[in-house]
Amino acid sequence: MARTLFLLGGGSEILDAVNQAFIDAAGPDPVLALLLQGGPGWESYLPQYIRPWQRRGVRHYHILVPDANGVLNTEAAIAVLRTATGIFIGGGNTEIYRRLYATEPIRTVIRERYQQGVPVAGLSAGAILASDVALLLPEEAGSSSVQVAQGLGLLPHCIIGVHFTEFHALADMLVAMRKSHVQFGLGIDENACAVLEDERLCRVIGHSVYTVQITDFDTSRYVVEEVSVP
């Protein structure tokens, strides 16, 4: 069974278009898990995720969110993830998502489900986490510069940048790539989704997705190209 990743660059407008493909990949009568960061007012963001599912007849979905103290019920989360046929990681603060979902034991469960063919989608922070090396902005890392940390490792040897054109994210991506000595990156605009099967980019929904490649670490030379796939 093919492994499928949907990496969304951050715009809510692309959610509706991507969700049909995500639901189809999750199989008939899907059971979806939505992973969110929580925090004050988190419920106000819920409709943008679940309304497209409801319109398409999805009957079973579970929301994973930490409590008011930022603590996730790990046992309950694992039970949900083990029965989910599709996993969607939301947007927000990448470090909070990383702490909740890209550390053990949740990290291993998500990786196992992905390897078993359960599609995984990530929006903004959720997309960044798909890589084995996650880019953290200074304000997320509590630092004066871009930092890198362990991600989920679903897409190895690739740094993910989101809001790529809108937030001029190339510079931050290059810093992260040099720090981690990762040669390749994917820059995803807000109204775009990179679709990967078996870790190979096979489709772009919306516009636009870019490949970033450092051709020489000593001189920091790099090449950026817009992806042209169906």
Local confidence pLDDT in tens for the 230 residues of the chain: 799 999 999 988 888 889 999 999 999 999 999 999 999 999 999 999 999 999 999 999 999 999 999 999 999 999 999 999 999 999 999 999 999 999 999 999 999 999 999 999 999 999 999 999 999 999 999 999 999 999 999 999 999 999 999 999 999 999 999 999 999 999 999 999 999 999 999 999 999 999 999 999 999 999 999 998 76
Preceding omega of 105 cis (within 30 degrees of 0) = yes
Domains and CATH numbers, the chain: 4-226 (3.40.50.880)
The model's pTM is 0.97
